[in-house]
Amino acid sequence: MRGAIRRQDVLKLVSVGGIAALSAHALHEYVPWVDYDGQAATSRKGSSPNAPAPLKMQGLVRYATLAANGHNAQPWKFETLADAIEIHPDCSRRLVAADPSDRELWISLGCALENLVVAARAMGYEPAITYPDANDVIRVSLSPATPRWSATFDAIPRRQSTRSEYDGKAVAAGQLHQLRTMPLEEGIAIHTVVDRNGVSTLAGYIYEATLRQYSNPPFLAELIRWLRFDKKEALASFDGLFSPCAGSPAVPRWLGRLFVSGAKPENLAAADVRKLESSAGAIVITSAAEGKSDWVRAGQVCQRLTLTMTLANIKSAYLNQPIEVPPLRSQLRSSLGLDAAYPQLLVRFGYANAMPRPLRRPVEQVLMPS
């Protein structure tokens, strides 16, 4: 039959494509001259309280940049002054499609603020925070004090968003109690969901929100821009979402793009539901009001929570989709009985092996010229 494609031809094409994909994957995985792990470790090198003041300031900025942040876009700039560090938003790194109101950008700055404050105490400073009520900057004034090391400080380089499926084991009641009674910030509350009904309510929202996001071309295009499909790409920018950190193989960009844009939204949504269901539970972080300073405080609490979990070897990862899609955010609010509180973040937690660590840009790249 002329013109018609025979079944054997299709199978042949599929297998040739498969072999090409596998070879491309093998080539991209096996690049011993590209030291990704070495660079990831360098990003996490600490500094000492005995270092000279300028080096200590740079060390504090380094710890701040190890915080969680949306798409690992690292939307921050730091200004080191004689007795303060200022955290500024880097608007060139906004996530216009995923976060049009900059809500998550300010949450990310709040996560960085928490790391900075914990590290400042360990490095011999007493920090005092000025929130961005009056202008677009978070200021941390630093006065000399006796160094106060804390276990949380050591958890900063170890924390990660562990995006794999977890092992399904529950977190002991005593540890849940410790998380629920953790000190919070003004207006911020945490709602723990560990019961079957609660988890299944969240799963429904996560499914629907993921479906909507992945069916939205600008969201998908922005995500693909921030994906780093192989080590060389990751090491060219030191930012973004490196595929192996989410359990996906390293592949060339053309193939990665094809996988992501060709994936069925239903399958991606189902995969995220499985991740939630494999977890011990989830925590919704809310704020009493909605504004830059509330978002920053939500970020601080989230970072504190995930550092506390890291100390107990509890892994965590974000499933914020239902909060990122406005109509679902308000429905979620009433379904969970959150009254007048605004949901800001949804974090699942449980037990799993660690994943490869994402990179951070060198400190010099995030410092503002003085």
- 68 belongs to the binding site for ligand FMN (CB under 6 A): yes
- Binders of ligand FMN among residues 151 to 170 (CB under 6 A) are 160-161, 163
Q: Which is nearer to ligand FMN, 142 or 222 (CB)?
A: 222
Q: Which is nearer to ligand FMN, 80 or 316 (CB)?
A: 316
- Smallest gap from Cβ 1 to ligand FMN, in A, equals 48
Size of the site for ligand FMN (CB under 6 A): 18
- 64 belongs to the binding site for ligand FMN (CB under 6 A): no
Q: How far is CA 2 from the centre of its chain?
A: 53
- Binders of ligand FMN among residues 341 to 370 (CB under 6 A) are 358
Q: Which is nearer to ligand FMN, 142 or 280 (CB)?
A: 280
- 43 belongs to the binding site for ligand FMN (CB under 6 A): no
Site pattern 110..129 for ligand FMN (x: CB under 6 A): -x------------------
DSSP state of 142: E
Dist CA 335 CA 212 (whole Å): 19
* Binds ligand FMN by CB under 6 A, chosen from 43, 287, 310, 320: 320
Structure tokens of 166? Answer: 């977890």
Considering only 69-77, 144-152, 173-181, 333-341, which stretch makes contact with ligand FMN by CB under 6 A?
Answer: 69-77
Structure tokens of 114? Answer: 């928490």
Considering only 9-17, 112-120, 129-137, 318-326, which stretch makes contact with ligand FMN by CB under 6 A?
Answer: 318-326
* Binds ligand FMN by CB under 6 A, chosen from 63, 89, 104, 293: 104
Give me the sheet containing 76-80, strands edge to edge: 76-80, 84-89, 138-144, 125-130
Answer yes or no: are the C-beta atoms of 129 and 114 closer than 8 Å.
no
Q: Which residues contact 144 (CB under 8 A, 6 or more apart)?
A: 124, 125, 126
Considering only 70-78, 262-270, 280-288, 307-315, which stretch makes contact with ligand FMN by CB under 6 A?
Answer: 70-78
- 213 belongs to the binding site for ligand FMN (CB under 6 A): no
- Smallest gap from Cβ 106 to ligand FMN, in A, equals 9
Structure tokens of 368? Answer: 């503002």
Strand 138-144 relative to strand 84-89: parallel, antiparallel, unpaired?
Answer: antiparallel
- Smallest gap from Cβ 163 to ligand FMN, in A, equals 5
- 323 belongs to the binding site for ligand FMN (CB under 6 A): no
Q: DSSP for 307-361, please give it.
A: HHHHHTT-EEEE--HHHHSHHHHHHHHHHTT-TTPEEEEEEEEE-----PPPP--
Considering only 54-62, 114-122, 202-210, 314-322, which stretch makes contact with ligand FMN by CB under 6 A?
Answer: 314-322
Q: Which is nearer to ligand FMN, 24 or 206 (CB)?
A: 206
* Binds ligand FMN by CB under 6 A, chosen from 65, 69, 152, 243: 69
Q: DSSP for 107-137, please give it.
A: HHHHHHHHHHHHHHHHTTEEEEEE-TTSSS-
- 308 belongs to the binding site for ligand FMN (CB under 6 A): no
Q: Which is nearer to ligand FMN, 36 or 125 (CB)?
A: 36
Q: Which is nearer to ligand FMN, 125 or 205 (CB)?
A: 205
- Smallest gap from Cβ 10 to ligand FMN, in A, equals 35
Strand partners, 127: 142
Answer yes or no: are the C-beta atoms of 306 and 285 closer than 8 Å.
no
SS3 of 18-86: HHHHHHHHHHHHCCCCCCHHHHHHHHCCCCCCCCCHHHHHHHHHHHHHCCCCHHHCCCEEEEECCCEEE
Q: Which residues contact 339 (CB under 8 A, 6 or more apart)?
A: none
* Binds ligand FMN by CB under 6 A, chosen from 70, 127, 281, 350: 70
- Smallest gap from Cβ 357 to ligand FMN, in A, equals 7
Helix axes 7-29, 253-262, angle to 10 degrees: 120
Footprint of ligand FMN on this chain (CB under 6 A)? 68-72, 104, 107-108, 111, 160-161, 163, 241, 317-318, 320-321, 358
